[in-house]
């Protein structure tokens, strides 16, 4: 009988399987690209049909593009979870879970609008619709927490707070300066904020 002893493999000897479509040195490539695509799609549609679409065709286009953006938010939340961007504790994980639920319900609201099912005479649809702004507010608070936690370094530490301030910047702009200015701010902020954040996420290594 021959007994052969082999040294334990070094970390560099172990192959890490990256998600499909990504690479080992860029594990969040797909996550970032989905976020960027969603932000650009929603911004482009909003530039054409406005913030408040009129007619069935415009509503469907708006719902599809904003729905893609919301899916991008889920990919962003998954990245935050995997990188422990908010911290390692139970509270950080609970916050991300709750935000994922809020975004999921916001997607249901978007789908309901696109399918023409929304009826604001019913309380259930009013509550469902509220998850759109609530989910965006939650993302803003998460962006602040990322900056405070400091687990993401460099520009990625602060850019989530910039991107996720979309609602708290756009809505006051509409109130103070009117719909036209608010419309421009809404589209530009998506591009400068979330679309750029998607590029940053796609380049993250850990």
pLDDT in tens, 29-47: 999 999 999 999 999 999 9
Residue 40 phi/psi, 5° resolution? -65, -40
Percent of the chain with pLDDT over 70: 88
pLDDT greater than 50 at residue 15: no
61 and 53 Cβ atoms separated by less than 8 Å: yes
Average pLDDT over all residues of the chain? 88
* Residue with the larger pLDDT of the pair 98 and 206: 98
Mean pLDDT of 58-78: 96
- How far is Cα 29 from Cα 10, in angstroms, rounded to an integer? 26
pLDDT greater than 70 at residue 89: yes
pLDDT greater than 90 at residue 79: yes
Instruction: Report the C-alpha dihedral over residues 153, 199, 160, 128, rounded to 10 degrees.
Output: -150
Q: Taking the domains of the chain in order of start, what are their residue ranges?
A: 27-202
Distance of CA 149 to the CA centre of its chain: 19
Give long-range contacts, CB 8 A cutoff, 24+ apart: 85-92. 85/146, 85/149, 85/151, 85/152, 85/160, 86/142, 86/145, 86/146, 86/149, 86/151, 87/145, 87/149, 87/151, 92/145, 92/149
147 and 157 Cβ atoms separated by less than 8 Å: yes
pLDDT greater than 80 at residue 6: no
pLDDT at position 17? 45
* Residue with the larger pLDDT of the pair 10 and 76: 76
């Amino acid at each position: 009988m021959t007994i052969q002893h082999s040294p334990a493999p070094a970390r560099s000897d172990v192959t890490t399987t990256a998600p499909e479509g990504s690479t080992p040195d860029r594990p969040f490539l797909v996550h970032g690209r989905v976020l960027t695509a969603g932000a650009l799609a929603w911004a482009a549609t909003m530039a054409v049909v406005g913030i408040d679409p009129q007619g069935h065709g415009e509503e469907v286009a708006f719902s599809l593009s904003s729905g893609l953006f919301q899916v991008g938010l889920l990919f962003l939340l998954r990245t935050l979870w995997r990188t422990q961007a908010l911290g390692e504790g139970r509270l950080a994980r609970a916050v991300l879970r709750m935000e994922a639920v809020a975004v999921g319900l916001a997607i249901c609201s978007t789908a309901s609008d696109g399918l023409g099912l929304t009826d604001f005479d019913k309380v259930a649809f009013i509550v469902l619709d509220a998850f759109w702004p609530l989910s965006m507010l939650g993302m803003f608070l998460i962006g602040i927490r990322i900056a405070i936690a400091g687990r993401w370094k460099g520009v990625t530490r602060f850019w989530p707070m910039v991107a996720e301030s979309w609602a708290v910047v756009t809505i006051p702009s509409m109130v103070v300066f009117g719909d036209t200015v608010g419309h421009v701010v809404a589209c530009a902020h998506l591009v400068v904020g979330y679309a750029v954040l998607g590029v940053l996420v796609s380049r993250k290594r850990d």
